A and B are shown apart, each in its own frame.
Chain A
Amino acid sequence: EAGVTQSPTHLIKTRGQQATLRCSPISGHTSVYWYQQALGLGLQFLLWYDEGEERNRGNFPPRFSGRQFPNYSSELNVNALELEDSALYLCASSLAGLGSTDTQYFGPGTRLTVL
């Protein structure tokens, strides 16, 4: 069974540009989560999508946004990139979200570098 996949592996942008990161969940999983892992800051929760709807977001500005498609894959968009957005962005998926303690399975991440 294929795990969570993310693309691209690496992404290099300059300040002010937009970045788009993609995630495909494990087959059968309907919930997708995004986390940011910046150097020295640990894992910070960004967004949670379930059944195509944004269910929760972390303490990030509105220029971090995303969506979930009918096939449950997801896209994270970061607008007006800033240097401090440089980080590893991790996507995770689980069988169910709301009211669940289901295990979250992580992808390999996208390394975003903002110059």
Chain B
Amino acid sequence: GDSVTQMEGPVTLSEEAFLTINCTYTATGYPSLFWYVQYPGEGLQLLLKATKADDKGSNKGFEATYRKETTSFHLEKGSVQVSDSAVYFCALNTNTNAGKSTFGDGTTLTVKP
């Protein structure tokens, strides 16, 4: 079945540091890939997505590139802010999984001033 593996957290960075959160996947179909962010006490917000190989999703300074050869979709940001502190989820869905999105376990990011 489909699966998503995220780097284990928590991750603690200083403001303006570079962020990478690793995400790799296995999928039976040809997936679309997503990063969602969850702020404390809130639901999930779509951060960015990519629907085919070599696509780069970007939003709010975050980027991720769909790498089919390495089955990866790593999240990066060049300079994090305190307001980026949240839980980040990598996810995929395919046209063969009957509606279900598959999520990683989430990575908690804390940014200190």
Residues of A in contact with B (beta carbons under 8 Å apart): 4, 6, 31, 33, 42-43, 45, 48, 50, 55-56, 58, 88, 90, 92, 97-101, 103-109
Contacts and interface: CB of A to CB of B under 8 A. Distances in A.
Interface in B47-103: 49, 51, 89, 93-95, 98-101, 103
Nearest to B30: A101
Nearest to A109: B43
Nearest to B31: A101
A33 B98 contact: no
B17 to A, nearest CB: 26
| Pairs of residues from A and B, 10 with the lowest C-beta to C-beta distance, nearest first | A48-B99, A101-B32, A106-B44, A56-B98, A108-B43, A43-B103, A109-B43, A45-B100, A106-B43, A99-B95
Interface residues of B, number: 23
Contacts of B34: 103
A104 B101 contact: yes
Nearest to A48: B99
Q: Is the interface of B mostly helix, strand, loop or mixed?
A: loop
B106 A42 contact: yes
A105 B101 contact: no
Interface of B: 31-32, 34, 36, 42-46, 49, 51, 89, 93-95, 98-101, 103-106
Contact of B100 (A6, A48, A88): A48
B106 A106 contact: no
Contacts of A33: 99-101
Nearest to A44: B103
11 contacts: A4-B43, A43-B103, A58-B100, A90-B43, A90-B44, A92-B101, A98-B99, A103-B32, A103-B49, A106-B46, A107-B43
